[in-house]
Structure 1
Amino acid sequence: MARRKIDPTFSPYTDETAVRTIGTLSIENGTSRIALHGSLDITRDRAGLRQARALKSVLDAIVTALAADDLPEAVAEEGEASETVKNPFA
């Protein structure tokens, strides 16, 4: 697995390696999609406000990037290439 860099500025759809982490929520950048993994508890305190603002900043950047492009109706699904290998136990 490739090591991912944590990018506090997070420029959506520009690379396949940047990850923004807010709490235990990871937002993984990609050139055709952005993946969200984990969870985020936004508490009613200053820490929760910081996390909500960080999440809003990332989502605003994503929306801005999407709105700036002439988008297709849907992104084609990328299938993983498979390779048949000889059974080492046979």
Structure 2
Amino acid sequence: MSDTPPPVFRPFADASAVQTIGGLSLENGPDCIAVHGSLDLTRDRAGLDRARTLQAAVNAIVAALAQADLPEAVPETTKSAETVKNPFA
């Protein structure tokens, strides 16, 4: 496919960045990276490119975590439901 290296995923850098690899999304957050979707790693050059992009993203996440002074666990935060006016009423 392409000889350009995959874009560098900067874990925990901001809360708006998303890296998409095939149908898999890695969504940045300050305390959490959410992984959604699925990814087919086919046995061809395209599959190799996707696998390398995924590997680079996971390596960046592991490196960011390894360099940080980590707490035992991040406290879970839950958003309370917000009541909105029914736009159809």
TM class, shorter-length: 0.7 to 0.9
Larger relative contact order, structure 1 or 2 (CA cutoff 8 Å, min sep 6): 2
SS of the equivalent of 1:38 reads: strand
CA–CA distance in 2 between the matches of 1:11 and 1:40? 20
1:9, CA displacement in angstroms? 2.3
CA–CA distance in 2 between the matches of 1:86 and 1:50? 47
TM-score, normalized by length of structure 1? 0.82
SS of the equivalent of 1:49 reads: helix
Corresponding residue for residue 23 of structure 1: 22
Corresponding residue for residue 54 of structure 1: 53
Identity of aligned residues (%): 61
- Superposed, 1:1-90 pairs within 5 Å as 8-83=7-82
CA–CA distance in 1 between the matches of 2:21 and 2:12? 18
Moved over 6 A (4+): none
Root mean square deviation of aligned Cα: 2.1
Aligned 8 A contact 2:8 2:56 in 1:
no
- Between the two proteins, the alignment pairs up a number of residues equal to 83
1:10, CA displacement in angstroms? 1.9
Aligned amino acid, residue 30 of structure 1: G
